[in-house]
Chains A and B, each alone.
Chain A
Amino acid sequence: MVEALGNFAIVWLDPWLLFLTAAGTMAGIYIGAIPGLSVTMATSILISFTFKWPVNDALALIAGVFMGGVYGGSRTAILLNIPGAPSAIATAIEGYPMARRGEAGEAIGLTTVMSVFGGFIGILALALFAPVISDFAILFQSRDYLLLGLIGILLVGTLSGESFAKGAFAGALGVLIGMVGLDPMTAEGRFTFDTITLMGGIPYVAAMIGFFGVAEALVQLHNLGLPVVKQKIDRIIPRLSDVKKHFWLAMRSSGIGTVIGALPGTGGDIAALLAYDHAKRSTKNPEVPFGEGAKEGLVAPEAANNAAVGGAFIPMLTLGIPGDAVTAVIIGALFIHGLKPGPLLLVETPHLFWFVVGSLTLANVFLLIFGLTGIKVFTKIVECPRAILLPLIIVLSAVGTYAIQNNPVDIYWMLLFGVVGYFMKVYGFQVGPVILGVILGPMMDANYRRAMLGARGDVGTFLWDFVSHPISLVLSLAFVAMLLSQTPLWRLVTSRRHGPAT
């Protein structure tokens, strides 16, 4: 316990780590706020620059960027009606009407306090539940990891995309990219076409930066000339009565955020929308109707999306399954630093776990400070035209990809993935499942083969194992339910139950 506290406090006492967390949070707020820059994009580029650093330094910076970035999207949502990130879509619905009434300062203040509140709940859940889940996860067998990987990829594909087939395709494409190179078990080449370049595999940082950085920049190229609206800022510190009044809503929303964040594959964007929906249903008599600047509609999504940050770390650190796209990138960072996220992480490197908790908490404190200050300067900076932003993203992406292995081939991969990712985005594919596939593919392959070897290559025994062990049974049922819910049969049943569709 004392040791845990010590590791928790490292980041609070070391001036350099304090600075990195502060800088990360500050940068995160701007990255999250500037439309066209996403936290996932920033983290993937950041990893390529920090992989030579000590792991603590890198994690402190990334924790700051993550926390700040999830919050930052709300600022532009309120001031400009452009959600800086998908997790701020609901915030824009209520925040922008407030800004139009001249209450932008108040909206930002309330958003900040509630984001920080949600953030703390998420971190608390991480600190309390991760060790419990980790103990439980030691009981997981290879087949359970295979199922978790499949569920994770499918969840991202179904919950955030427009079509199940597109999600499944994207996930499988990611697995394929992850398979390229020498097979870790038998050293046979897979998809290498007998070329040396492909034997080492396709670097997943190149895939990440391509799909999240370059592809997004190309998508943003469509909206070069969006108009800029000026805002005046007055009151920023929220009224205590407002905070008190919305306390329980914030509490419930944080709960929703933590759980959604902890589900493999779903992150802050879905958490925010669900919490917004919850606020809409549970608030009987809002002072201002929803859609016209209801404070409840600001509190719920903002508390939820920051709570999802702590939640997303739970499966990533305990099971090695990322909770959302950003943690999928962070898990890549941990691999680069030679760590193995999974049930043994808390046993083998408990200091790392408590360090993560500590730096997230610290980032949350900085969020409160930076969130309530510097808003005037902020409005000037987010007005930076995209015509300038986009070329800079490309340069940063290229340098970031190159920095990993100093290999020019990697940047061609990046461009290829960027262009493919652009077309995928245009035609309604999600790129999140691709990255999850790249990260989880090799893990699922190894676990599948281990499970099959355990069953001595007998398909009957292999399948029986999936239903004869309690943990596997629960996961198998979840997996089957997910598959069934995508079939026409399921839709028929639910529409019967709810009456004919209108």
Chain B
Amino acid sequence: MSTQPGRKPGELVFALLCCGFGVVAFWQAFGISGFGGLTTPGVFPMLATGTMVVAGLFIIVGAARRGSERSGEGTMSRFMREVLPLRHCIMIALMLAYLVLLPQLGFVVASALFLFATFQYLWRRNPLLTLLLAGLSLGAIYVVFRIVFQVVLPQGTILGWTI
């Protein structure tokens, strides 16, 4: 990985975002106690965020220097292929849906839905087989964590009765 010829699609944008985030964070850190003294709560956050800004500048320069790979393909389509394919977008969306539903539907229902949907999407077998697999793995997780480890799992506000 150390001898990359060109930069990855979106790398320069990410570097700019990193640096930009550093600047915003530095401004926030400055807001804590300003340059009032050397032992104020804001000093160390300013050092950390200042490091982020400086490192961010170096990262931008490094990414810009390497130049992008010249190929017939546009940067956007390479970005969609190498960095954020549709599969990743769908998985992240499914994860977000799962996390939003988790406190409402409770662990058992939300996880069952999530496991079934993701197994079916990634594995692409007979839905019955997927259902069986989702059920079995959920059962195993439930027994290990709820019964053996006695972990408190989200109960759900809408379906409070589903354990």
Contacts and interface: CB of A to CB of B under 8 A. Distances in A.
A156 interface: no
A395 B99 contact: no
A179 B1 CA distance: 32
B109 interface: no
Contacts of A183: 41
Contacts of A453: 39
Interface residues of A, number: 64
> Which of A169, A224, A394: most chain B Cβ within 10 A?
A169
B153 A179 contact: no
Contacts of A411: 99, 102
Nearest to B21: A173
Contacts of B48: 172, 175-176, 179, 437, 441
Contacts of B122: 224, 386-388, 390-391
A444 B43 CA distance: 12
Contacts of A386: 122
Nearest to A177: B48
Given A172-B55, A426-B8, A449-B39, A399 B107 contact: yes
B64 interface: no
Interface in A398-428: 398-399, 402-403, 406, 408, 411-412, 415, 418-419, 422-423, 426-428
Contacts of A246: none
Interface centre among A163, A172, A388, A448 (most CB of B within 10 A): A172
Interface stretch (A74-82, A185-193, A255-263, A274-282): A185-193
B32 A457 contact: no
Contact of B123 (A164, A385, A457): A385
Contacts of A196: none
Contact of A428 (B1, B55, B152): B1
Contact of A415 (B11, B42, B99, B141): B99
A166 interface: yes
Contact of B38 (A164, A173, A459): A459
Interface in A440-489: 441, 444-445, 448-449, 452-453, 457, 459, 462
A273 interface: no
B26 to A, nearest CB: 10
B35 interface: no
B11 A163 contact: no
B149 A50 contact: yes
Given A169-B18, A427-B14, A408 B102 contact: yes
A18 interface: no
A191 B52 CA distance: 16
Contacts of B52: 169, 172-173, 176
A185 B41 contact: yes
**Is chain A's interface secondary structure helix, strand, loop, or mixed overall?**
helix
Contacts of B150: 52
A168 interface: yes
Given A165-B62, A406-B152, A441-B48, A191 B133 contact: no
A356 to B, nearest CB: 22
A460 B150 CA distance: 55
Contact of A221 (B51, B87, B119): B87
Interface string B19-45: 000100100110011000111011111
A162 interface: yes
Contacts of A394: 95, 98, 114, 118
A49 B44 contact: no
Contact of A457 (B10, B38, B45, B99): B38
B112 to A, nearest CB: 10
Residue from the set A171, A218, A398, A406 with the largest chain B CB neighbour count within 10 Å: A398
Contacts of A448: 43-44
Contacts of B25: 176, 191
Interface in A315-368: none
Nearest to B103: A408
Interface string A363-398: 000000000000000000000011110111011101
8 contacts: A52-B150, A386-B122, A391-B115, A398-B99, A399-B145, A408-B99, A426-B8, A457-B37
Task: Report, nearest first, the 3 A-B pairs whose CB atoms are least far apart.
Answer: A165-B58, A387-B122, A391-B118
Given A391-B119, A415-B96, A437-B48, 11 more contacts: A169-B52, A172-B22, A190-B42, A222-B85, A399-B111, A399-B145, A402-B102, A403-B145, A403-B153, A408-B154, A422-B88
